[in-house]
């Protein structure tokens, strides 16, 4: 109903409300709630985007830590035995 009444005039809104047995104030309240919800959704999307960015950074840091702590690997094409000195 909020979308249906978004572009109509006050007079048309009155006729619409009489047909649907509503008050114009109800539609105004619904519109305000609708717009408020849209604002919250944008905030949630921004927070989710920020969280994803932080998660990617943490993942990269953890991967680097695993690479740093992993022992070196011997390549199978080496002609000599691989000896790892610690």
Distance of CA 69 to CAs 35, 37, 61, 66, 86, Å?
Answer: 51, 47, 12, 5, 12
- For the chain, 86 residues long, give each residue's pLDDT as a single digit of tens: 666 777 778 888 788 888 888 888 888 888 888 888 777 778 888 999 999 999 999 999 999 999 888 876 666 665 666 666 65
Domain ranges of the chain: 1-86
């Amino acid at each position: 109903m909020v979308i249906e009444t978004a572009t109509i005039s006050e007079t048309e809104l009155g006729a619409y409300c009489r047909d649907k047995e509503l008050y114009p104030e109800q539609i105004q309240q619904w519109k305000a709630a609708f717009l408020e919800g849209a604002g919250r959704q944008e905030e949630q999307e921004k927070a989710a985007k920020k969280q994803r960015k932080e998660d990617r950074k943490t993942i990269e840091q953890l991967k680097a830590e695993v690479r740093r702590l992993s022992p070196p690997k011997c390549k199978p094409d080496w002609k000599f035995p691989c000896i790892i000195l610690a």
